[in-house]
Amino acid sequence: MSAIDVGSHFIDVNPCEELVFTKFEGNFFTQFTITNPCPNSNIAFYVYTSAPIPVKIIPNAGFIES
């Protein structure tokens, strides 16, 4: 099987539906978690947004070991 096969599962994101933002000192904050459900392989991730405003994502890329 490859990553494009229907039913493949290589990354978990929580929350999986929508992010809820909290306003603090004039900024909006939220948090989500990326986890690796694959017991035998590492994964790489890169997070970006199409928002029309500046968004800072920390960390925006990295590796998650199995």
Which residue ranges make up each domain of the chain? 12-64
- pLDDT score of 4: 53
End-to-end CA distance of the chain: 19
Half-sphere exposure of 36 (CA within 13 A, CB side): 13
Residue 21: CB partners within 8 Å, gap ≥ 6? 28, 29, 30
pLDDT value, residue 46: 92
In sequence order, the β-bridge partners of residue 28 are: 23
The pLDDT value given to residue 62: 93
| pLDDT score of 22 | 95
pLDDT of residue 9: 77
pLDDT at 1: 45
Low-confidence ranges of the chain (pLDDT < 70): 1-7
